[in-house]
Amino acid sequence: VADEDTVKRYFAKFEERFFQTCEKELLKINTFYSEKLAEAQRRFATLQNELQSSLDAQRESTPPGLRKRKTVFHLSQEERCNTHNIKDLKLAFSEFYLSLILLQNYQNLNFTGFRKILKKHDKILDTSRGADWRVVHVEVAPFYTCKKITQLISETEALVTTELEGGDRQRAMKRLRVPPLGAAQPALAWTTFRVGLYCGFFIILAISFILTGVVLMRLENIWPMVRIYRGGFLLIQFIFLLGINTYGWRQAGVNHVLIFEINPRNNLSHQHLFEIAGFLGVLWCLSILSCLYSEYIHISMQINPLILYGFMILFLINPIKTCYYKSRFWLLKLLFRVFTAPFHRVEFADFWLADQLNSLVVVLMDLEYLICFYIFELQWSNSKGLLHESKDSGDHVCHSYSYGLRAIIQCLPAWFRFIQCLRRYRDTKRAFPHLVNAGKYSTTFFVVTFAALYATHREQGHTDADMFFYLLIVFSTISSLYTLIWDLRMDWGLFDSGAGENTFLREEIVYPHKVECSHTHAHVYTHTYKHLILPHQAYYYCAILEDVILRFAWTIQISLTTMTKLNSSGDIVATVLAPLEVFRRFVWNFFRLENEHLNNCGEFRAVRDISVAPLNADDQTLLEQMMDQEDGVRNRSGKKTWKRSHSLSLRRPLLSSSQLKKDTKVLIEDTDDDAF
């Protein structure tokens, strides 16, 4: 048993280490706050100058004494540019205001943290030295006493109100006001009600059409109908799983709003995505039941799929400002950028959506089949047109590679990513990772080509079909290994050599797990924390195993189609594997965005980088190359350890550090200031 002097010396030594740690953290907080405040002041001055220049140019281009024109069709080119600049300035000020609110939250969060930990110190050690230290050090610290951030917020509000919104403060604050940051806000009661209602209807209707199908169609050829409706189900499944993704990102603090560069003041929550998926799911089930009971309701079976998919298309392109108008047109704009990838700079959301299309390739192929089937194979005079195939054509036209279009459709998603990688190489002049990534997607072209040649030559009884089969196996293996390694190492950032206790993963992981455990602090006292949140590596190991299995699931399809004589074996396996591939992409999304979020934290990036006069691609590439040089502004080529303890994450600061690869900042292109 230690004597009283030994215990006192131990406590004194512990307190000395404790307050040294507090001083070190206080210094880092003060330094970071000062840097961000200086950056905000510089940014505010720049925005003021840009606003003044735009307003001066607007006044010079407007003849005195003339009534202001509201139409844009008769504006000159100069006037259009001025209007465009004002629109960009509104967006830039709204993002700048968001950064000020985040910095103000940083002040409050750190002061609260010091107050609570020092209060806990005094309670445990039965002393008041923690409170005294807070008064002497924290309450006079620059990060707490400085009121310049509040002044900047007030000046920004006044400037936007008077100069950009014509004195309308209510309109200005609607543009600037930031929703509470952190976890998702509670959804409206009616939204939650509709989610439950649609999901309940979907389950009941799905059971109904499954039972009906089993009873009524034992002897019918159901595969035309399955292929026509399969794509719709995959889209509904994708939207529902994306809702789970959104919920998981919010809960774990992964700032997907920043990563996708969407408006933090107006975007879809997971509840909205569940509602859309549930509503479309109910329509999908009703359409199938209408097909099955077409003889009783006197509606032609072949009309039902056209009504369903016609409604889906109209829902997406509906120009009326209702039913998530901003989100729908944000998606349409993104799809347009994917299809026109070579002609503009590629952003994260662009190649993320193209990756999703690679997992939804069956949807595109089923859409091609639907169009072909209705043109060439459907017998409109037959009341069971979707359950009967012409004996003359069978599967030899629409469900085969015989006329080449099907292979082209199958290659389209890979082509989008391939050309995006080439465009990114053109913009950055970096062979790695962009050309190497393009090589990954090019393997899909070989796989599809040899699959088409093998299927066609086997149907025609050619002797060289076996050669194409072996080439298909070789390139499918190469493609699967290539994509698997890229998934785990590049997209997810796993198998990092500095992973520490997270074996085979990376140093920092953000998806937590609640456990009960005991924790001994400083060998002085013991406390039991219930539901302590700890990183849970098992999620990551299961995801790795799942990715390996599903990346090689094609082996099952090839085995069954070549070793069995069942004509529909290929359709059966494809119908099972397509939803599994959508599920694989759902898991992939979690870890891909986690990796991107950690990169943003390492770069201290918490808001979109808005520039009214952005650099063009060549100038930005030249600037980045200069920064990579040994004698440049800073050498960004080598590996660095970025401290993330001051990250302005929307949920909480990340406490550990990791070696990050270089991550270039994104310049926002011309966007509507209220867009999703």
Q: For residue 515, what pLDDT is reported? A: 37
Least confident interval from 383-392, 422-431, 637-646: 637-646
**Over residues 141-154, mean pLDDT:** 94
pLDDT band at 428 (very low <50, low <70, confident <90, very high): very high
Q: For residue 177, what pLDDT is reported? A: 83
Q: Is the dihedral of CA 264, 270, 276, 277 positive or negative?
A: positive
Q: For residue 400, what pLDDT is reported? A: 84
Least confident interval from 74-83, 349-358, 522-531, 575-584: 522-531
Write out 189-247 in H/E/C secondary structure.
HHHHHHHHHHHHHHHHHHHHHHHHHHHHCCCCCCHHHHHHHHHHHHHHHHHHHHHHHHH
Q: How far apart are CA 312 and CA 314, in angstroms?
A: 5
SS3 657: strand
**Over residues 401-410, mean pLDDT:** 88
pLDDT band at 637 (very low <50, low <70, confident <90, very high): very low
| pLDDT digit string, tens, across residues 548-571 | 999 999 999 898 888 887 778 888
**Over residues 17-28, mean pLDDT:** 95
Q: For residue 265, what pLDDT is reported? A: 79
pLDDT at 616 over 60: no
pLDDT at 311 over 70: yes
Q: How far apart are CA 72 and CA 51, in angstroms?
A: 21
Q: For residue 657, what pLDDT is reported? A: 36
| pLDDT digit string, tens, across residues 580-611 | 999 999 999 999 999 999 988 887 777 766 55
* Residue 645: closest CA among 607, 605, 604: 604
pLDDT band at 658 (very low <50, low <70, confident <90, very high): very low
Using CB atoms within 10 A of its CB, is residue 653 exposed (0-12), middle (13-18) or buried (19+)?
middle
Q: For residue 630, what pLDDT is reported? A: 52
State pTM to two decimals.
0.80
Radius of gyration (Cα) for the chain, nearest Å? 30
Containing 582, the helix (H) or strand (E) segment is helix 569-602
Write out 116-147 in H/E/C secondary structure.
HHHHHHHHHHCCCHHHHHHHHHHCCCHHHHCC
Least confident interval from 50-59, 238-247, 443-452, 524-533: 524-533
pLDDT at 208 over 90: yes
**Over residues 83-100, mean pLDDT:** 85
> What is the distance, to the nearest Å, from the Cα of residue 618 to the centroid of all Cα atoms in its chain?
27
Q: How far apart are CA 545 and CA 550, in angstroms?
A: 9
**Over residues 100-120, mean pLDDT:** 94
Q: For residue 483, what pLDDT is reported? A: 96
| pLDDT digit string, tens, across residues 46-74 | 999 999 888 888 777 666 554 444 444 44
Within 10 angstroms of residue 581's Cβ, the number of other Cβ atoms is 19
Least confident interval from 77-86, 338-347, 515-524: 515-524
Q: Give 422-428 contacts, CB < 8 A, sequence gap 24+.
A: 422/342, 423/341, 423/342, 423/344, 423/345, 423/346, 424/346, 426/617, 427/345, 427/346, 427/617, 427/620, 427/621, 428/621, 428/624, 428/664
Select the more confidently predicted residue: 143 or 657: 143
pLDDT at 544 over 50: yes
Select the more confidently predicted residue: 212 or 332: 332
Q: Are 402 and 394 in contact (CB under 8 A)?
A: no
pLDDT at 663 over 70: no
* DSSP state string for 491-559: IS--S-TT-TTSTTS-S----EEEEEEEEEETTTEEEEEEEEEEE-HHHHHHHHHHHHHHHTTHHHHHH
| pLDDT digit string, tens, across residues 278-289 | 999 999 999 999
**Over residues 107-127, mean pLDDT:** 93
| pLDDT digit string, tens, across residues 665-675 | 333 333 343 44
Containing 640, the helix (H) or strand (E) segment is strand 640-643
What tokens appear for 141 in the block? Answer: 């610290």
When mean pLDDT is compared over 51-60, 66-75, 341-350, 645-654, the highest value belongs to: 341-350
| pLDDT digit string, tens, across residues 174-200 | 888 877 665 445 567 888 999 999 999
What tokens appear for 423 in the block? Answer: 């465009």
Pairing of strands 525-535, 640-643: unpaired
Q: For residue 143, what pLDDT is reported? A: 93
pLDDT band at 624 (very low <50, low <70, confident <90, very high): low
